[in-house]
A and B are shown apart, each in its own frame.
Chain A
Amino acid sequence: MIERTPLLNIATHLILLCGLVLILTPIWLAFVAATHTLQAVNSAPVELWPGDQLWPNLREAWAQSDFGPKFVNTLIVAIGVVAGKVTLACITAFSLVFFRFRFRMLIFWMIFITLMLPLEVRIVPTYAVAANALSPFQTILDVTGISRLIQAVSGIEVSLEWNLLNSYAGLILPLVATATGTFLYRQFFLTIPDELVEAARMDGAGPLRFLWDVLIPLSKTNIAALATIMFVYAWNQYLWPLLVVTDRAAYGMVVVQLSDLVPDQMTTGGGTPTWHLAMAATLVVMLPPIAIVILMQRWFVRGLINTDK
């Protein structure tokens, strides 16, 4: 439904403007804070206009947070999550939509249910698995008595261990193993006409060939949308990296580093809070997600509204 009356137009624009102000004000204040000295930021009337200290503040924040290697780390994790997610979601949706196998609907619903269990909800068991990725198998062996059997026969004590703490795998895998992307793909795959699938079969294309030659090119916009969402999601991770990485020097992520700059009782030790540095760092950390969104915007929007068919 598209209504076009001048009054409605003005109202719509007013609402949009309010939203814009609401969103931009904090960013503006952060930017302003990042351009002043420690004294100026902490003096009584809040500064509303930028000062001249942006560059020194940025340098100071960058150095204090050791952002160089941390940006590399975060980029690796974010790209890993995007690549893993795009691939995994594509393959799972492919099998759910185009193959008929036993328990298909059961598996579908199991994946669906995981939508209701985000990482934050199952963070303790996930941590346990990350500490030893093979522990589920160990449990199975123990419960079924196979490990005791092996020990009795060979004298070897079975103890499987694969520690994912302090590793890129540990950072990436739990973020990949979610259902969101699967659904995005599934909805799109369901719109592919049966005839197209059959035409490919008649042309001699096997399932993987069909996936590669037809489905993936057709889902380009969906892939772009999913990649954008997942990149921002991975980039902004805080809780999981905080938990799984103890070796911060080697595997620290930017958002965790950023939180260290935010002044609290512990970091300042009663000194003057360094808001100018925290805000400068915030600006830097925000840049990659913004860049990605701007870069992918055209694709991204098309992928989400799914029109051109």
Chain B
Amino acid sequence: MAEISIRKVSKTFGKTTVLGGVDLDIFNGEFVVILGPSGCGKSTLLRLIAGLEEISAGEIAIAGVVVNALEPRERGCAMVFQNYALYPHMTVAQNIGYALKVAGVARAERQARVEATAKSVGLTEYLDRKPGQLSGGQRQRVAMARAIIREPRVFLFDEPLSNLDAKLRVQMRHEIRRIHNRIGATSVFVTHDQHEGMTLADRLVVMNKGSIEQVGTPAEVHDRPASVYVAGFIGSPAMNFLPGQISLVRRGVLLENGTLIPLAQMPVLEDGHLVQLGIRPEHARLTPRGRGVIEAQVDMIEDLGAQRLCNLMFEDMPFCVLIEARPPLPAGTPVGLDIPAEHIHLFDAASERRIEIALPLPVAAPAEALTG
């Protein structure tokens, strides 16, 4: 049975619908990341689970109990907020122990648990400080400790790392995952950062404009995105899209300028069906001019250190390719592009949903030397 089961849940504020009929099952001990751009309703969904907002329609059950009418404290959830939300006038120890104090836990036990929890997140030396005297990372730890000490069934995180600098963010990310593994509670983590999502999640929930686009493991979501939206959102740099139509006779996708991109296997579609062809920048390959399936021009090259990001123009459409070499390619240079059939994603142009192509066994791509 699912630990958290969300059934046709919608949320409206006045006349605006923020969530429209969300269905989701989150299993016991799972780390689920809700990923989506800002304003898509992630926080709202989390707050509905927490009980901080009222559910407009639908039903949420935690551990088999419908919680629609329950107060936050009765739901067994703990939450870590984006801005930490520590009580500024209380010491670290008082902040961590406040939930226990409210629950009426005796002072001695409370103190012992506060100390144990503080130790587990490395806060022992700071117990007597006020939040104002702590760094961002330390405040984050206090917020974590405050959630952990309640031994909740469910941890809810609302973009808890977005106020930290890049290095600390990675560090805290690892720490959150470690704590999750150690405690074994169910975690729901909201973020707009796909790296956080990909690295933390057992399962990713990709949201768009108040509804769920896809649910799956990070690998599934990355390798087989369910829609144009997910394909464009997950992966960096973003996937390239080329509009075209199916040509059954020529066994490929016919682009608008007449170029044919061959497919390894034809989907079950009629001739001329309009599609979006997607290819990730790391899968497309630069070739010398005239040797690829399409011709493009170099717009600019960005050096990312380990790799180079070639921004090309193909028929007025931007197209990105990620390469290892450092080729001398000034702007305007014509180049060829190879689009390996086994890495092609197809999406229906009208519905923007994924079209499955039964992939053949991967064949070794022909090694092709790149010369300017």
Contact = CB atoms under 8 A, between A and B. Distances in A.
A202 B89 contact: no
Interface string A172-201: 000000000000000000000101101111
Given A198-B52, A202-B73, A203-B98, A218 B78 contact: no
Contacts of B81: 195, 198-199
B85 A198 contact: yes
Contacts of B88: 218, 309
A202 B87 contact: no
B85 A196 contact: yes
A218 B85 contact: no
Contacts of B361: none
Nearest to B74: A204
B99 A203 contact: yes
Interface string B72-87: 1100011101111111
Contacts of A201: 51-52, 71-73
Contact of B87 (A196, A204, A209): A196
Interface string B87-117: 1110000000011001100000000000000
A218 B132 CA distance: 13
A76 interface: no
B50 interface: yes
A100 to B, nearest CB: 11
B210 to A, nearest CB: 21
A249 B212 CA distance: 78
A193 B99 contact: no
Contacts of B50: 198, 202
B251 to A, nearest CB: 57
B83 A202 contact: no
Given A193-B85, A196-B85, A202 B78 contact: yes
Secondary structure call for the B interface? loop
Contacts, number: 58
Interface string A194-234: 01101111111100010001100110000000000000000
Nearest to A218: B89
A195 B82 contact: yes
Given A195-B81, A202-B50, A203-B102, A214 B87 contact: yes
Contacts of B150: 203
Greatest chain B CB density within 10 A among A193, A195, A200, A218 is at A195
B146 interface: yes
Given A195-B83, A198-B79, A209-B102, A203 B89 contact: no
A202 B79 contact: yes
Interface of B: 47, 50-52, 71-73, 77-79, 81-89, 98-99, 102-103, 146, 150
16 contacts: A195-B81, A195-B84, A195-B85, A198-B52, A198-B85, A199-B146, A201-B52, A201-B73, A203-B98, A203-B99, A203-B146, A203-B150, A204-B102, A205-B102, A209-B102, A213-B87
Given A195-B85, A202-B50, A203-B73, 4 more contacts: A193-B85, A195-B81, A201-B73, A202-B79
The 7 closest A-B CB pairs, nearest first, are A204-B73, A195-B85, A199-B85, A203-B99, A204-B102, A217-B89, A195-B81
